[in-house]
Structure 1
Amino acid sequence: MSTFDFTTSTLTFEAIQGWKVETVEAFLRFKQKDFSLSDAEIQKCVDCSFNGTALLKVNKDGLMSFVGLRYGPALNVMRFFQILKNQSKKRHRVTDNTPEFCRQIATPFESLPSIPELKTKTILLKPFNRKIPLEQNLYTKCELSCYDFPISDYFVKYDEEHAYSPIHLSVLCYIALQGTEVGSSKSSRIGDWDSLIRNPTSVLRKHFDTKHLWDADREEKSTDDGLIDAKRLLISKMKTWSPSLYGDLKYILAYAAGGAQLQFYAIDPSLNLHVISDRLNLDNLQGRVEALICIFNIHRIIRSMKSLLPETVVPVWKLFKRTYGDIFIADTQIEKRIHSFSAYPFSNMTVLKNIYRDTKDIKNIIHAVSDPWIDNNSYKVILAPVGINRTPRTEQEVKAAIRCVLNALVGLHKFGYVHRDVCWPNILQLTDNSWMLIDLECAGTDDESVNFDPLKDWAPEVIETKKYTKKADVYMVGRLLRNVFISLSEKAYEFERATTAELDSRLTAQEALQHPWLSNAK
């Protein structure tokens, strides 16, 4: 296993020459997204016993013919190392100043541009506070290809003698502007979209908080004529404008991509789509230059939105990986998937279908839009509503959340079900400031044996007997008070003791709702 720390160590030509095969593999995985490499292509490098010396000596054609990389990834790898080789010819060490450049380039606007201002299509092409260094040959190529566009307003020739340069940023811009030869399939277009849109976005995010706004809305189609469909889908997939998602924003930013065609938009609270850029052709250099400039200015706009955002932002239109599957969050619904469901240890399809059907009218609990289903051994369910994942910050909020959780448990227990994983990550706040219990995929029936390892904060009797009862859920509610980092009153601790007492003395969910501590919970 490689011990080289790519996030803190200085990459030099000399250091790479000493890399073993496992270090090269670790580096390629670290840069996998930047290079648009697949897992299979990285494994091919390992199978070819590529060490640091071999990596530095091989050329693009060798990576394609000998290793078997695609054109785009092979070109990206070679560009990166060519720039590194050029830097290594100098006698002094060059310091990567990407963080400072990113902060200066993406400086917020003095005031948030309005939609009428954005529709002039000039805001996204505003010059930055600092010019981005480009490799000299590429800069010259941009000047010649974009003869009617002011390249010098945005970029400057890369000065290899300068000790403080944004190496990482310059490499990403080099890859983004050079482009790759791509086919018409969506898979072949993804690497191009990554290099031009997602990779620069990723490096910008490392140095300031965008609060997921660039994930707000995007749609991509593989062919040029797919831009119209992509534009239509931008709006059709949005169901509502939720203050919990967008706070006091006047608009969110979006883009549609159809093959080599790219266009940027603003979407207002009435879900109207406003065009804020020309249609950019990524098959020519000027189109790519303008697209990259738009990306940087979009992040300037995003930084200007900060004061209008809600305290906690739901990362909509984003896929989150989980241990057993993933979840995709849209604006009004969530798609949850569990892969290899036949091996899933916590519940079964019969129980889950019945739970979602029986609890569809219960308040303060997540609901299934339709019955869960199995597709190629993958469990899927569409859930609503969308909530905010945050831990209460005051005792009053703790009381409100616990009252809502107990209401949900009373409903579950009425039908003979138990939740089995009552914890703060599974309790979300809704737009009306109520709270909701989620993740029924660990639920089961009352007083049945459990055949999986104990979860955190399970009651002692469950660990001893391997049987989970309704009162074990109440025990987990009591343990919630131990997992908030605020000062609580004595009455709160009385509630905790009553809900975590020995099994025979422990309150039921209905009894816990009547506890004096919850008397003024809202």
Structure 2
Amino acid sequence: MDLPYIFGYYAIGYVVTFCALSRSQDRINRTDLATIDLSSPSERLKALVPCYRIAGLLPLLADRCFNNTNCNKLLPHSDFERLDSGNGRNMVEMTPTTVTRFFSNVRKWTAVKEIYDFLDHRIPHAEFIHRSLEKDLGLVFKPRGCKCKPTNCEQLVEALKYVTKALVALHDLSFMHRDISWEKVMRRTERENEWFVCGFEEAVGAPQIYPRRSVRWGSRRRV
């Protein structure tokens, strides 16, 4: 809450705009900083300048990460966990190697399964459906991960490498995650320093390529 602003970006087609979000009393203000058209080769080279400057901030960002000493352990979690948000949303059960999410209705279960079936093993460093439980409206995912943020610059850079590879592959399929955040980045439990992306429930295809699917999958969330 003591951060003066949050740096980010948004994209419309090939046009990417870097921006800053700041709080003003009860409002969130967006300040556009630079706009780049990635369809142009010269603009792509131009984009390297802000990216290079952002890279210089990584050590500072790492210092702001939570100092969670448990993250240095290989298994900083219980082998078996059951989570219930208590507000009617999905139930989650975890084993040492899998994560099972249960859904409240067939429509939601089918929509999520359709997205993951389309992306099945086409995205590196991302969770995938290991087994479907149609009768129980559940989906079993692999790999198992733990929610812990990077604790130093080296871990931050490694995590960003894995996330970037996953998002590049996703965008090559003309899909957008639409809900990417540290809550959707997990550290693998069986490997020392490997990260993966999860939570593709809100993913949506480009309207010009998947007009019907985009409307159906995107109707549950505003862009």
Q: Which category of TM-score, normalised to the shorter sequence, fits these structures?
A: 0.5 to 0.7
Q: Which residue of the other structure, out of 420, 423, 428, is the alignment partner of 2:186? A: 428
Q: Which residue number corresponds to residue 198 of structure 2?
A: 438
1:381 & 1:351 partners in 2: Cα distance? 9
Correspondence 1:328 to 2:93: yes
1:312 & 1:400 partners in 2: Cα distance? 18
Q: Which residue number corresponds to residue 374 of structure 1?
A: 134
1:91-139 Cα distance to aligned partner (Å, 9 max, x none)? xxxxxxxxxxxxxxxxxxxxxxxxxxxxxxxxxxxxxxxxxxxxxxxxx
Q: Which residue number corresponds to residue 302 of structure 1?
A: none
Q: Which residue number corresponds to residue 78 of structure 2?
A: 315
Calculate percent identity across the aligned residue pairs.
16
Q: Secondary structure at the match of 1:369?
A: strand
Q: Secondary structure at the match of 1:327?
A: strand
What's the offset of the Cα at 1:361? 4.8
Correspondence 1:355 to 2:116: yes
Task: List alignment gaps of at least 5 residues for structure 2.
Answer: 1-69, 208-213
Q: Secondary structure at the match of 1:442?
A: coil
Partner AA of 2:95 in structure 1: A
Cα distance 1:357–1:405, how it changes in 2: closer, same or farther (>3 A)?
Answer: same
Cα distance 1:404–1:339, how it changes in 2: closer, same or farther (>3 A)?
Answer: same
2:98 & 2:168 partners in 1: Cα distance? 25
Partner AA of 1:442 in structure 2: E
TM-score, normalised to structure 1, is: 0.25
**Greater fraction helix:** 1
Partner AA of 1:332 in structure 2: T
1:423 & 1:312 partners in 2: Cα distance? 22
* Higher RCO, 1 vs 2 (CA within 8 Å, ≥6 residues apart): 2
Higher Cα Rg: structure 1 or 2?
1
Q: Which residue number corresponds to residue 174 of structure 2?
A: 416
Superposed CA RMSD:
2.8
Task: Assess if the C-alpha contact under 8 Å between 1:351 and 1:444 holds in 2.
Answer: no
Q: Which residue number corresponds to residue 47 of structure 1?
A: none
What's the offset of the Cα at 1:394? 1.9
Task: Assess if the C-alpha contact under 8 Å between 1:355 and 1:417 holds in 2.
Answer: no
How many pairs align?
141
What's the offset of the Cα at 1:339? 1.4
1:394 & 1:422 partners in 2: Cα distance? 21
Task: Assess if the C-alpha contact under 8 Å between 1:364 and 1:436 holds in 2.
Answer: yes
Q: Secondary structure at the match of 2:169?
A: helix
2:145 & 2:153 partners in 1: Cα distance? 20
1:312 & 1:391 partners in 2: Cα distance? 14
1:357 & 1:440 partners in 2: Cα distance? 11
1:489-508 Cα distance to aligned partner (Å, 9 max, x none)? xxxxxxxxxxxxxxxxxxxx
1:158-190 Cα distance to aligned partner (Å, 9 max, x none)? xxxxxxxxxxxxxxxxxxxxxxxxxxxxxxxxx
What's the offset of the Cα at 1:341? 4.0
Cα distance 1:412–1:356, how it changes in 2: closer, same or farther (>3 A)?
Answer: farther
**Greater fraction strand:** 2
Task: Assess if the C-alpha contact under 8 Å between 1:334 and 1:383 holds in 2.
Answer: yes
2:83 & 2:92 partners in 1: Cα distance? 5
